[in-house]
Every structure is written in C-alpha cells, then in structure tokens.
Amino acid sequence: MNKEKTIQQYNASLHFLGRITLIMASGLLIAVPFIIGAFYGVEPSISSFINGFMKVGMIYIPMSIVEFLIYTPMLGVGGSYLSFLTGNVTNMKIPVVMNSKEIAQTESGTIEHEIISTISVAVSAIVTTLVIVAGVILLVPLQPVLQNEALLPAFNNVVPALFGALGLKYFVKSPKIAAVPLLLMSLLCVFVPSMISQTSVLLIPSGALALVIGFVLYKKNLL
C-alpha cells in the first residue's frame, strides 16, 4: 500500500516537474535569439521567420509527433521529459536506456523501468553537457585557427558535407525510394538553374514525392 502511494506520488511529481521545467526551458531557449538581437541592436525578420518556419515545420513537426509516439513507451515519463529537451534521442538516449534496461533487468511499463530510464537519461544528459563544456573550453583558444581564411572553404561547404554523408546512408538504405526524387531534382536544377538557390522550396516536393513513393512501396510490400 505504502509502495503504491510512493509510486503515485513519484509519477505525479514527474509530470508536474516535467511540465514546469519544460515550459521554463522553452522560454529560455526562445529568449536566447531575442537577447542576442537586443545586445547587438538587431531584430529577427518576421517575414523571413514565418517563411523559414513554414518550411521547417512542414518537415519537422510531423516528425516530432511520430518520434514522440514511438519513443515515449521506451523512455518512460521522466526519460521522455528529459530526452525531448536534451535531444539526440535516437543516437544516444534510446541506446542508453536499452543498455540500462539490460543491466537492471527491468520490464517496460513497470515503475522499476521508469526509475532506471529516468536515471539513465539524466546521467547521459549531464555527461554530454560536461563533455561539450570541456570541448568548448578547449575550442576557445583555437578561435583564431578556426577563423583563419584558409579554413573558409571548409565551413562554407559544411552543408554539402552533411548531405553527402546522409545521402549515402539513406540512398543505400532505400534505393527504391531515392531513385526518382534524386533524378527529378537533379534534372530540375540542371534545366531550371533558378531552382538551385531555392533548395528550401525544392525539398517540399522532393520530400512529398519520396513519401508517396515510400507509401506505395510499403502498401505493395516492396520495402
């Protein structure tokens, strides 16, 4: 009976704390660009923000909802509140929780698993923060090197570097989905060069086309 009460109190406090702290953290994160803007006397362009947010939201809001629905059962309540704030969910938090589950031999959905997953995610987030802080402290004296003119081509090509690596990973994983969008987008950019500077617009039809092809292949059991 006493254990039941402890569990109920624990669950209620996780939701209370989770909601309050997430609201406060979101406020802080949103405030950062405004504080920086105020410091330098500049304001964000509202029209550019809306334009950019529409494109980003179209891709990432549905993705966030899918991730929330899929990962919450694995992460538990406390683990979810922390993971969705501290990020790197698939590449770090989920593997850490699964590793701890193995060690502690807990079953998903039990209070023991809830406690183990919350502890794992909290420790993981703290360790990541400490590692990055140590790295940032080491990076500060390297600033003159990182800002050297000779390194400009590296930082100006960081996005092609990202999509080259990601492209290989995803195209190899799903060649049937990738072939048509890749061919069409390449042809479009070759024959309508004005589209080259409009990649943020291009990715909407490209993403939609890949989704439709993926869905058709899925329905026909071809994936």
Site for another protein, residues 90 to 149, rule: CB under 8 A:
91-92, 95-96, 99-100, 103-104, 109, 111-112, 114-116, 118-129, 131-133, 135-136, 139-140, 143-144, 146-147
Which of 1, 40, 141, 220 lies at the binding interface for another protein (CB under 8 A)?
Answer: 40
Q: Which candidate, 202, 170, 174, places its Cα nearest to that of 186?
A: 202
Which of 1, 69, 141, 220 lies at the binding interface for another protein (CB under 8 A)?
Answer: 69
Assess 8 for contact with another protein (CB under 8 A).
no
Assess 44 for contact with another protein (CB under 8 A).
yes
Smallest separation (angstroms) from another protein to the CB of 138: 9
Upper half-sphere CA count for residue 187 (Cβ side, 13 Å): 7
Amino acid found at 215 = F
Smallest separation (angstroms) from another protein to the CB of 132: 6
Q: What is the Cα–Cα distance from 90 to 21, expressed in whole angstroms?
A: 22
Report yes or no: 187 and 140 within 8 Å, Cβ to Cβ.
Answer: no
Upper half-sphere CA count for residue 49 (Cβ side, 13 Å): 7
Q: What is the Cα–Cα distance from 53 to 45, expressed in whole angstroms?
A: 12
Smallest separation (angstroms) from another protein to the CB of 174: 5
Report yes or no: 4 and 111 within 8 Å, Cβ to Cβ.
Answer: no
Phi, psi of 106 (to 5 degrees): -100, 155
Smallest separation (angstroms) from another protein to the CB of 212: 9
Smallest separation (angstroms) from another protein to the CB of 47: 9
Phi, psi of 133 (to 5 degrees): -60, -45
Assess 216 for contact with another protein (CB under 8 A).
no
Assess 29 for contact with another protein (CB under 8 A).
yes
Binding mask 168-207 vs another protein (x if CB under 8 A, - otherwise)? xxxxxxx--xx--xx-xxxxxxx--x-xxxxxx-xx--xx
Which of 1, 48, 141, 220 lies at the binding interface for another protein (CB under 8 A)?
Answer: 48
